[in-house]
Structure 1
Amino acid sequence: MERGLLVIGDVVTDVVARHRGPLAPATDTAAEIRTLPGGAGANAACWAAHSGLTDVRILARVGTDSAAWHEEQLRHAGVRPHLVRDAETPTGTVISLVDAGAERTFLSDNGAALRLSPADWSPSLLDGVTHLHLSGYLFFSDTSRATARLALREARGRGVTVSVDPASAGFIAGLGVDRFLAAVAGADVLLPNVDEARLLTGLPEPGDAAAKLSRRFPLVAVTLGADGALLAAAGGVTARVPPVPAEAADSTGAGDAFTGAFLAARLSGAGGSRGNDVGAAAAGCRAGAHAVTVIGGRPPLRGTADPPGSG
C-alpha cells in the first residue's frame, strides 16, 4: 500500500553553466547556460513522484518573485506544493558550474529557503503522511533548523518515520559536525554522500564511515557516485549496491534522485527489511544514473512555462 511522503526543504532557482574548457580568470569562458527549478528538497520530491509515488508534498519558503513559477513546476512534476511566500527575500539561487567531466561546483545564495520558520509549520501537514524527509540545508540556519527539529519531533510523536539528507559537506563543516549530528538526532534514515559520511565520522573508508553512522541512525545509505551505494545498520555494512552505467552530462541532483527513488521504493513496499532496502537502494542507483544524463537536478518535463524574467 502506498503512503504519503512529506518533504521539507529548499526550493531554489538553478542557473546551470556547462563549460567545456577550464574557467578563464578575468575574461570570458564559453558556456551553455540554462535557468531551471532546483533545490535538494524539491528535486528529491520530484524524483519520488517520477518514481511512481502519487502522494508527494513539499513545504518550503520562496520569494514572491518566482513563487508562481515554482508552484507550477512542482505540480507538473506530480508534487503538491506548500510554498510560503516571502515578500522580503527572493527565492534562493544556485549557480552550478559543470565541467567537461560533468562534475559540478555550486555557488549558493539560500535566499528565502532558510527563512522557513516554525510559524510556517502546521501539524496538519502530516495528515496522511507516513514518512517525513528533511533536506539537510534546513539545519544550516537557526530559523530553519528550529523548524526542522519541530517537524521531526512531531513526526516521531505520530509514528511517522523520518529521513535526512545531510546535503552539503561544506556547510556541515561550517556548522560543526557535533552540532549537525545533535540537530538530526532521532532520524530513522540518514542519506549522506561519501564526502559527507567521511566528514561526519572522520573515517576515510566509506564502509567504516557508514557502519559508524549506523550506530546513531537505524539505517544509513551512503551514495558513492559512480561506485554505487552501500547500506549499513546496527554498526555494520549490510549491502553494497552496484552502480548503473550512464553517460554523464551533468551530475547535479544525482544524490537527490537517489533519495527520491529510494524513498519512493520503500514507501511503495520495497522497504522494511534488509533485502527490500537493497531493492530500494538499487532503484535509487537507477534514478541517479538517469539524473546524470539530463541537465539540472530534476526529471525532464515538457510544456512548462519559462522561468521568471526570461522573456
Structure 2
Amino acid sequence: MVGDVVTDVVARHRAPLAPGTDTAADVRTLPGGAGANVACWAAYEGLADVRILARVGTDSGDWHEEQLRRARVHAQVVRDDEVPTTTVISLVDAAAERTFLTGSGAALCLSPGDWSPSLLDGVAHLHLSGYLFFADTSRETALIALRAARERSVTVSVDPASAGFIAGMGVGRFLEVLAGVDVLLPNADEARLLTGLPETADAAAKLSRQFPLVAATLGAGGALVAASGSLRARVPPASARAVDSTGAGDAFTGAFLAARLAGADVAQAAAAGCRAGAHAVTVMGGRPPFR
C-alpha cells in the first residue's frame, strides 16, 4: 500500500446541522486515511504481511504508527517536520451518511525521495490510494511506484477516492494517469463520473475495457464486478445497522483484495468486501476493531 494516513475528527449528529449556532454531536478523534484504512482491513481479513508507505507530520507520527502496528500493519511512516498530519472532518448524519472536509497536510507531500524500489521486494500486489493523484508531489510518487510495479509484473489496484476531486482534476486527465492499473475500485458516483453513463453497471463494464478488473460498490445496494467489457458478478449487500459510513468503501477494498490474493474468484471477493463494508458501518471511524 502506498497511501494516506490521516487524523479523522468524526462528528456524528442526529439532528440536522444548525447554521450559525450549536448542534449536539458525538465527536471522536480517530486514526484514518483511505490508504491506511484499506491496509488495516486487509490485515483484519487475514493477509499476513500488509505494508504501507505514507507521510505524516511529526505532531502525531508516533500515535499513527502505533495504531497501524496494533492493526498488524507494517508501517513505513515518513515524518514531516514542516507540514502537520492531514486532518479530515467527517460529518455523519442520522442516516449514517458522511460528508468530508479534507485538509491537505503531510499525506499529499509524499515525495519520490520517500519511495524505494526495494519496497516491492516480496510483494504480490500494490494498492495505491486515489487521494495521492490529486496533488503534484504525491501523484509523481504514486506514478513512480506504479511504473516500478509494472516492471516487476506486480499487479496494481487503485480506488478513485473522491468524485469531487476527480471532477476538479478532470476525468480525462485522471484516467490518463491511471494507465497500467489492473484493478479499479470505484464507488457508484465515481464510476458514473468517469464514464458519463447513468447506470453503474454500464459504467463498470465500460471502465473494464480500460482496466482489466473493476469492482464497483453500490452502498446499500451491494457491489458488482466487471471484466473485459462485461458484467461478471452482482453481489447483494450484507445487512447491518449503520452508525457511520466512513470507511465502508475502504473496508470493501481491503477485504476484496485480501480475498483475491487468497485465491477467491471475483464474486467471492466482492461478497467478502460487502461483508467487511457492512461491518465497517456499525462502528465510528474507518478502521476495523483491534483483534
The question of a shared fold, defined as TM-score above 0.5 by the shorter chain, is answered with yes
Deviations 1:128-183 (A, max 9, x none): 10100000000001111110010000101101000000000000001000111011
What's the CA shift for 1:110?
2.3
Amino acid at match of 1:283: A
Give the distance between the partners of 2:89 and 2:137, measured in 1 at CA.
24
What does residue range 200-279 of structure 1 map to in structure 2 within 5 Å? 200-270=194-264, 276-279=265-268
Deviations 1:97-139 (A, max 9, x none): 0000000000000200000011110000001101000000000
What's the CA shift for 1:301?
2.8
Give the distance between the partners of 2:266 and 2:23, measured in 1 at CA.
44
Deviations 1:220-276 (A, max 9, x none): 000000000000011111110111010000000000000000000111121xxxxx1
| Counterpart residue number, 2:140 | 146
| Counterpart residue number, 1:95 | 89
Q: 1:288 aligns with which of 267, 277, 281?
A: 277
Give the distance between the partners of 2:95 and 2:215, measured in 1 at CA.
25
Q: 1:61 aligns with which of 55, 62, 66?
A: 55
Give the distance between the partners of 2:24 and 2:271, measured in 1 at CA.
37
Give the distance between the partners of 2:194 and 2:117, measured in 1 at CA.
30
Give the TM-score normalised by structure 2: 0.99
SS at match of 2:82: coil
Q: 2:27 aligns with which of 12, 19, 33?
A: 33
Give the distance between the partners of 1:269 and 1:176, measured in 2 at CA.
35
Give the distance between the partners of 1:185 and 1:204, measured in 2 at CA.
24
Give the distance between the partners of 1:208 and 1:268, measured in 2 at CA.
28
Give the distance between the partners of 2:10 and 2:111, measured in 1 at CA.
29
Deviations 1:285-310 (A, max 9, x none): 000000000110000238xxxxxxxx
Number of residue pairs matched by the alignment: 291
| Counterpart residue number, 2:288 | 299
What's the CA shift for 1:90?
0.2
Give the distance between the partners of 1:144 and 1:202, measured in 2 at CA.
27
| Counterpart residue number, 1:84 | 78
Give the distance between the partners of 2:125 and 2:92, measured in 1 at CA.
33
Give the TM-score normalised by structure 1: 0.93
Give the distance between the partners of 1:112 and 1:184, measured in 2 at CA.
23
Query: In the alignment, is the contact (CA less than 8 A) between 2:215 and 2:223 conserved in 1?
Result: yes
| Deviation >6 Å, runs of 4+ | none
| Counterpart residue number, 1:183 | 177
Give the distance between the partners of 1:266 and 1:239, measured in 2 at CA.
14
Q: 1:174 aligns with which of 154, 168, 172?
A: 168
Query: In the alignment, is the contact (CA less than 8 A) between 2:8 and 2:32 conserved in 1?
Result: yes
| Counterpart residue number, 2:68 | 74
